[in-house]
Amino acid sequence: MDVFEVMRTQRSVKRFRTDPVDRGDIEAILTAATWAPNGSNRQAWEFLVVDDADTKAALAEVYRDSWNFLYRQRSTRRSFHDPRTAQAKMIRDSQHLKEHLEEAPVLILVCMDTSKNLVSTDGVMRMYWEEGNYTSTLPAVQNLMIAARALGLGTCLTTALNVFAERAKDVVDLPDEMRTIALIPLGYPEEPFRALNRIPAEESTHWNRWGNRIPSGSG
């Protein structure tokens, strides 16, 4: 499938059919994840693939508690009302996903093995170490989701679980040094893939100086 067509239609899927996902497809998706750029090529990602009903239910319970906690703690000072983001529908769909998470055929918990993060955790390096846990794994998460879309499978990037990471780690016996990065439900979507609506890139593009909308070649 054409790469631009895949990216243009890679919507966040929050309602899944119950049809099972082929194991070969899961393996192809995870292989695509490993092609992503990552810090010092340490390939420090780990993929916890959950297709067992009891384990999905246990993770979904932690996810619901995390989501509800986040919803209560959200900053009302930072609320926004941009009609282009269709926020009311997004929250409704997000609530649906929360309530039905274990019904997705597969949940993939992407983790960072922090013991493979080469940066020191001490002193001035601490913040750079922290961000390295994300910059070394999120490109793989995006490859995973793109590969899924190319195979007709829907995904949704969720991070709410991270607020109660310890409980999630207990469910699947993750070692202490693992950082949970994203929980991604995987399955065939209820609705067909459609093109995304986005604010035009040019509204977020600056040339050479903040706020300059004119490329130097055209100056």
Cβ 186 to a copy of itself, closest distance in Å? Answer: 13
Q: Cβ neighbours of residue 152 under 8 Å, at least 6 residues apart?
A: 188
Q: In the complex with a copy of itself, which residue's Cβ is closer, 68 or 120?
A: 120
- Do residues 49 and 106 touch, judged by C-beta distance below 8 A? yes
**φ, ψ at 98 (rounded to 5°):** -55, -45
Q: How far is the CB of 16 from a copy of itself (least distance, A)?
A: 16
Pairing of strands 45-50, 106-113: antiparallel
What is the nearest approach in angstroms of a copy of itself to the Cβ of residue 76?
Answer: 9
Of 198, 151, 155, 186, the residue nearest 8 (C-alpha):
198
> At its nearest, how many Å lie between a copy of itself and the CB of residue 185?
13
At a CB cut-off of 8 Å and minimum separation 6, what does 86 contact? 197
Q: Which of 140, 150, 145 is nearest to 3 (CA)?
A: 150
Residue closer to a copy of itself by CB (options 99, 212) is 212
Rounded CA gap, 39 and 163, in Å? 24
CA distances from 60 to 101, 185, 192 (A): 6, 10, 25
Closest contact distance (angstroms) between CB of 132 and a copy of itself is 7
CA-to-CA separations, 184 to 30, 74, 144, 191, in angstroms, rounded: 12, 22, 9, 18
Least distance (Å) between residue 100 CB and a copy of itself:
19
